[in-house]
A and B are shown apart, each in its own frame.
Chain A
Amino acid sequence: MDSNQTLDARGLNCPLPILRTKKSLNAMASGDTLKVVATDPGSLKDMQAFCAQTGNTLLSSQQSGDDYEFMIRKA
């Protein structure tokens, strides 16, 4: 699936992946999709909680190797 933008949050720990995600989303248009790649295992739950509370849609979240990939559609 294609995204409008990709955020590389690898190597960053709580709460930076979420803070950077928010910053990236701020600069995007409603309906755009953002792909986030992170290595923080906590980001699995954090990204769910973030999307649930902000109204953005978590389209997918998957693990590949040491990376966690999230696809988010901006509300």
Chain B
Amino acid sequence: MSVAKLHAVQDNAAMPTVLAGLEAWFDRRLDEKLAEREANRIPSLAIIATKGTMDMAYPPFILASTAAALGWNASIFFTFYGLELVKKELDIKVSPLGNPAMPMKMPFGPDWLKRINMPVPTLAANLPGFESLATAMMEQTVKAKGVPSIQELRDICVESGVRLVACQMTVDLFNYSQDEFIPEIAEWIGATSYLGEAKNADICLFV
């Protein structure tokens, strides 16, 4: 019988102080137990990585490696173009095409020059080799600013025990073979399995 029910039955009986004491004890114990559980709980992060460009490769790897450093359980599910991020040979590019918010900045030269944003006309971004140019510039900037490369962040994720899982369906869809991907992929799974994992995560992100 719940405390509330006890209360109702015994309301005008001779035991109100006992009941009040019991309730106070229960409330206190409940708070203590909940606090204890919260203190011992390991937070978790689940990321669904669906993009294979450099700008979209950073968030999953940065967040997952940092979560692991904090002692959290972190996992990344690579699906669709996100599978590019777990290829053995990383070939990650960035393009201003279809990416209108991307700043185009000089990675070298005096500070005043590096601060200038050079808007790229869509037509120019279509030129052959432009994607490689933009990628090289971004890589330079990243290096100059002491931001880790994608490769470095991925290595740290692997080292620090981030669970990397990948989508089997995408492999079939794009005629990939599993050998093209790093062996650290813990499992090849589908939506059903990953949703089961992500269900209990404190933070779930779709990138």
Which residues on A sit within 8 Å (CB–CB) of B121? none
- B62–chain A nearest beta-carbon distance, Å: 5
Does B69 lie within 8 Å of A18, measured CB to CB?
yes
Does B160 lie within 8 Å of A22, measured CB to CB?
yes
Closest to B66 in A: A15
User: Residue A16 at the B interface, CB < 8 A?
Assistant: yes
Q: How far is the CA of A64 from the CA of B197 in the complex (A)?
A: 45
Does A18 lie within 8 Å of B66, measured CB to CB?
yes
Residue in B62, B71, B160 whose beta carbon sits within 8 Å of that of A53 in the complex: B71
Does B69 lie within 8 Å of A50, measured CB to CB?
yes
Q: How far is the CA of A55 from the CA of B65 in the complex (A)?
A: 18
Q: Interface residues of B toward A: which range?
A: 10 to 19
Given contacts A53-B71, A54-B71, is CB(A19)–CB(B146) below 8 Å?
Answer: no
Which residues on B sit within 8 Å (CB–CB) of A11? 146
Which residues on A sit within 8 Å (CB–CB) of B62? 14-15
Q: Per DSSP, are chain B's interface residues mostly helix, strand or loop, or mixed?
A: loop
User: Residue A69 at the B interface, CB < 8 A?
Assistant: no
Given contacts A19-B65, A22-B160, is CB(A12)–CB(B70) below 8 Å?
Answer: no
Interface residues in chain B, defined as those with a beta carbon under 8 Å from any beta carbon in chain A = 62, 65-66, 69-71, 145-148, 156, 160
Max chain B C-beta neighbours (<10 A), residue from A11, A16, A21, A40 = A16
- A54–chain B nearest beta-carbon distance, Å: 6
Closest to A13 in B: B146
Does A19 lie within 8 Å of B147, measured CB to CB?
no
- A66–chain B nearest beta-carbon distance, Å: 13
- B65–chain A nearest beta-carbon distance, Å: 6
Q: How far is the CA of A65 from the CA of B146 in the complex (A)?
A: 19
Q: How far is the CA of A22 from the CA of B65 in the complex (A)?
A: 11
Q: How far is the CA of A54 from the CA of B71 in the complex (A)?
A: 7
Which residues on A sit within 8 Å (CB–CB) of B65? 15, 19
Residue in B71, B147, B156, B160 whose beta carbon sits within 8 Å of that of A14 in the complex: B147
Which residues on B sit within 8 Å (CB–CB) of A39? 146
Which residues on A sit within 8 Å (CB–CB) of B66? 15, 18-19
Given contacts A15-B62, A15-B65, A22-B160, is CB(A54)–CB(B70) below 8 Å?
Answer: yes
Which residues on A sit within 8 Å (CB–CB) of B70? 50, 53-54
Residue in B145, B156, B160 whose beta carbon sits within 8 Å of that of A13 in the complex: B145
Which residues on A sit within 8 Å (CB–CB) of B69? 15, 18-19, 21-22, 50
- A62–chain B nearest beta-carbon distance, Å: 21
